[in-house]
Amino acid sequence: MLEVAFRKRLGSFTVDVEFTVPSSGITGLFGASGAGKTSVLSVLAGLAHPDKGRIAMDGAVLYDNVIGTCVAAHRRGIGYVFQDSRLFPHMTVDANLRYGLRRSRGRMQTNTFSAVVAMLGIERLLARLPHRLSGGERQRVAIGRALLSQPRLLLLDEPLASLDEARKAEILPYLEKLRDELRLPMIYVSHTLEETLRLASTLVLLSEGRVAASGSIDELTARTDVRLLSSRADAGAVIDATVAGHDDVGRLTRLSFAGGTLQVTRTSRTVGTHVRVRVMARDVALALRAPALSSFQNVLAGTVVEVRERSRGDFLVRIAVGEAHLLSAVTFHAVEKLRLRPGLAVHALIKSVAVGI
Amino acid sequence: MLTDLEWSAIRLSMNVALRSVVLNLPLAMMVAWVLARRRFRGRALLDAFVHLPLVLPPVVVGYGLLLIFGSRGPIGSILAERLGIHLAFTPSGAALATAVMTFPLMVRTIRLSLEAVDPGLEEAARTLGAGRIDRFFSITLPLMAPGVLSGAILAFAAGLGEFGAVITFVSNIPGHTQTLPLAMYTALQSPGGEETAAKLAVVSFTLALIGLIASELVGRRVRARLGR
């Protein structure tokens, strides 16, 4: 576990944050440009020093101004993937990859190098110089180089920001593979919510140098009071689900989640696969009685937990469905007509096509 | 074509220029690094001091060297008594005078090449476990090497022609401290020496041109390899 609490002045801007990062999985550090995301990473890596605070990883203190400890960046064992890859231009891909490997203190399994190279699909690139690589290839090599330095924690600073959509789609699966196959905690900085939600399991929301909220993704995305998320047009709960089965006649796939079953458009994912779906608030309609016949494939019985006006005449309703929570965006008119109040039993109506895996 | 004395002047010039470059390199690299990467009080003063030989009359530099490194100077006397090293009126002294005169040129070129190295790469090396010295030798030095090399070649070419500081500090002793420009000067002073002066001028011209071209080629070649 990484415990972070520090304060750092940067001119007229102050970063003052406190949060913890679990020992496994990806923690998304999300916020607008200029919210202080990169400053937080720099301080964690030891490239910048805070004015005061305490940073400790698994009990080992990395920085503490009270006892006067500040571990040098090259001794922290924290890997860093920069937005602009920063491969060493005078070294081949192979030499770049081995740079951190040779300097790592970790006990090195002999097959680690080839395993990482294979995992990132960069075998063909080993003899090349960085300027002969595409943007996507460069980022994959940068990720491999950071991994091979055997870090205890990996920081990724918008690794996809400089890439076009096609290149992003090329790298994302590698990042998911990394998350699923390595027991390595990661902090993933992004200003793209979609990317963050796809990869991270924990979220730290930064706003103007402060932590606006932090917690697990499904908890934060189902809240109505986290403005950084709830005020967005694409606000909506993220639900962890498992592929339960396919309906080939109806061309649907059944997903089971804590609140029951969701039917979505037929996918090719195998039964038992863990998936994460976003159910956007604007795609969830509410009804007091289940409609007799409608095009809604998903009619989930639940209870209203909270009704909050997020802007004039625009309301977010939080509904408990089994163990899970959903958000629904409705108008003032709907709130009045259905008399939506906490405790009211409702049915959440969700179109199958609206739920993307 | 050339007399023995003229050949010895050319050889001596090469020798002096080479030794001045070797003498300068480590110090020039340190000063360039400090000027490029460190922020401290007195940086502007150091910068100005480094550039002094560029604007001072060379005679003043030679005179200063005599005062400091002459046999009765504070450092010269110690060198002579303890180590038996004499600088004034010797070829080694000529190398020292040339080194002082070409120092600003070297610091400038090295500093420019150092400033072209992205500090972000050094940061990346830090996160990969490289300490300060390790970083310098594995990242910074190789990346600035082309600039250092072309700067060294340039300083060598410029050092071949150093005149004022050399003649003041080590005088003009044929076969001993008479470098190429000094031999030319002597030839021009003596009746019927125009032919010798012309020959030596052509040699100087050729060496300077080769130096400039070599410096440019080295820089271009390494830049091409790095894809810049």
ipTM metric: 0.83
Which of A38, A39, A47, A91 is most worth mutating to test chain B (most B CB atoms within 10 A of its CB)?
Answer: A47
Q: pLDDT grade, residue A52 (50/70/90)?
A: very high
pLDDT digits (tens, 9 = 90+) for B12-57: 999 999 999 999 999 999 999 999 888 888 889 999 999 999 999 9
Residue of A nearest to B121 (CA): A86
> Which of B120, B142, B143 lies nearest to residue A86, judging by beta carbons?
B120
Contact B125/A88, CB-based, under 8 Å? yes
> Which of B121, B225, B228 lies nearest to residue A86, judging by beta carbons?
B121
Residue numbers in A near B227 (CB within 8 A)? 89, 129-132
Element (H, E) at B70: none
Contact A88/B123, CB-based, under 8 Å? no
Task: Give the other-Cβ count within 10 Å of A50's Cβ.
Answer: 24
pLDDT digits (tens, 9 = 90+) for A208-251: 999 999 999 988 998 988 888 888 888 999 998 999 999 888 88
Q: What is the pLDDT of residue B174?
A: 87
pLDDT digits (tens, 9 = 90+) for B75-111: 888 888 888 888 889 999 999 999 999 999 999 999 9
Q: Are A100 and A78 in contact (CB under 8 A)?
A: no
Contact B227/A72, CB-based, under 8 Å? no
Q: Rg of chain A's alpha carbons, rounded to an integer?
A: 23
Closest Cα partner for A190 from A31, A19, A22? Answer: A31
Closest Cα partner for A106 from A93, A119, A92, A116? Answer: A116
* Coil vs helix vs strand at A206: strand
Q: What is the pLDDT of residue A177?
A: 84
Q: What is the pLDDT of residue A305?
A: 94
Q: pLDDT grade, residue A50 (50/70/90)?
A: very high
Max distance between CA atoms of chain B, in angstroms, equals 70
Task: Give the other-Cβ count within 10 Å of B152's Cβ.
Answer: 22
Q: What is the side-by-side order of every strand in the sheet holding A52-57?
A: A69-70, A60-64, A52-57, A2-10, A13-21, A210-216, A202-207, A26-30, A186-190, A153-157, A78-81
**pLDDT reading at A80 higher than 60:** yes
Instruction: Quote the minimal CA–CA distance from A132 to chain B in Å.
Output: 8
Instruction: Quote the minimal CA–CA distance from A174 to chain B in Å.
Output: 21
Task: Give the other-Cβ count within 10 Å of B112's Cβ.
Answer: 14
Contact B125/A99, CB-based, under 8 Å? yes
- The pTM score is 0.83
Sorted by sequence, the CB contacts under 8 Å of residue A353 that are 6+ apart come out as A265
Instruction: Quote the minimal CA–CA distance from A104 to chain B in Å.
Output: 7
Residue numbers in A near B121 (CB within 8 A)? 86, 88-89
The two tokens of residue B44 are 């502007």
pLDDT digits (tens, 9 = 90+) for A145-170: 999 998 999 999 998 888 888 888 88
Residue numbers in B near A46 (CB within 8 A)? 126
Contact B127/A74, CB-based, under 8 Å? yes
Q: pLDDT grade, residue B122 (50/70/90)?
A: very high
State the pairing for strand pair A298-311/A314-321.
Answer: antiparallel
Counting residues of chain A whose pLDDT is more than 90, the rounded percentage is: 58
Task: Give the other-Cβ count within 10 Å of B86's Cβ.
Answer: 15
Helices (H) and strands (E) in chain B, counts: 11, 0
